[in-house]
Amino acid sequence: MAEVPAKIKIGAALTTLLSLAIVLLAPSPVLPAQTCLADGNETPVYLSDYTGLPPSLVAEAEGIAAGLFDTQARRSEFTGQLLGLYAVSKDKDIVLFFNPGGFGWKEFSGTAEGMSFMGGISAELDKIGLDYLFFNHKRTSKTFNSAISEFMVAAGIYPSKADDLAARVEFLTSHIPGLKVVLIGVSNGTLPCDGVMDMLADNPDVYSIQFGPPFWNDARTDSRSLVLRSNGVIPDSFSQGDIFTILRANMEAVYGANQQYPGDILFYIGAPGHDYNWEYGAVRSQVTDFLWDNFGS
């Protein structure tokens, strides 16, 4: 049997070590996300004083946290967030969780795109006559390890982060009669949304609006889920898996050419069409129809 060349051995060893280092450096995905009010200040939702809440409710929240997280600090954090979400949502008709794309830490209410969507959706919910609240569900913090964890989840090496979000949604809909929950996801942020819709398929109070899911995710539109893979101007190259268009756009950018159509992945990689804004007529009309079809009555 021919001997394997030394260069191949070294390359294989380095690849193995690098892969191992990435997995070891990446934090456990079993970390509480951070849900914030989309109020311009991104105020974290958290309750430290449980006075006045039914003991059974607190005990249930603590039990859910114990089933998801492996340290007392993480359990306490999640319990406080869960009860905080209940406290601010209990008098609402509908709450909307925004799941940012990219690495999962992007602010929603502080961006032009976010403000555009909040304004547009708010106007429709006002017409319907619903009392609502927007949350920004940040899956990660702004750290290198957090970014690596997102890659691991997307690649299927780490478990989905949908369990965290599903627990919040199920807790709210179980204890607030009539409450509706809408999960809004962009790009990578559609993955937990789609995961929750699968996990809570039998919960009729949960809905999702997904913009530009990754091409490897087979999320499909149904009566409670709106999935867009085009903004109505051009197909989304990332969501459609059009690698040639993505490569061409980035090669053109290297030589100083501007993209004819906007869109990017992870802030830097150009992806024509991977851009969703309330100002696009096709996006606006589909979201508006979805809201009225499900909540207009």
Which residues make beta-bridge pairs with 235? Answer: 230
Same domain, 281 and 259: no
User: Is 161 a domain residue?
Assistant: yes
- Whether residues 252 and 115 share a domain: the answer is no
Q: Are residues 50 and 161 in the same domain?
A: yes
At residue 221, does pLDDT exceed 60?
yes
- Ordered alpha helix ranges (H), 30-143: 55-68, 72-89, 112-128
Lowest mean pLDDT: which of 43-52, 76-85, 213-222?
213-222
Q: Do both 124 and 271 map to the same domain? A: no
Range of the domain at 152: 31-214+222-231+277-295
Residue 210 host element (H or E): strand 206-211
Nearest to 101 by CA among 211, 236, 231: 211
Can you tell me whether residue 21 is helix, strand or coil?
helix
- Residues 60 and 196 both lie in one domain: yes
Q: What is the pLDDT of residues 121-152, one digit of tens each?
A: 999 999 999 999 999 988 765 555 555 555 55
Position 113 scores a pLDDT of: 67
What average pLDDT does the chain have?
80
Residue 130 carries which side chain, given as an amino acid letter?
Answer: L
45 plus 65 within the same structural domain: yes
Which of 96-105, 151-160, 206-215, 254-263 holds the top average pLDDT? Answer: 206-215
Is 271 found in the same domain as 288? no
pLDDT of residue 38: 86
185 shares its domain with 263: no
Q: What is the CATH number of the domain that holds 202?
A: 3.40.50
Same domain, 267 and 151: no
pLDDT at 86: 97
Q: Are 80 and 34 in contact (CB under 8 A)?
A: no
Mean pLDDT of 255-276: 60
Q: How many structural domains compose the chain?
A: 2
The mean per-residue pLDDT over the stretch 194-223 comes to 90
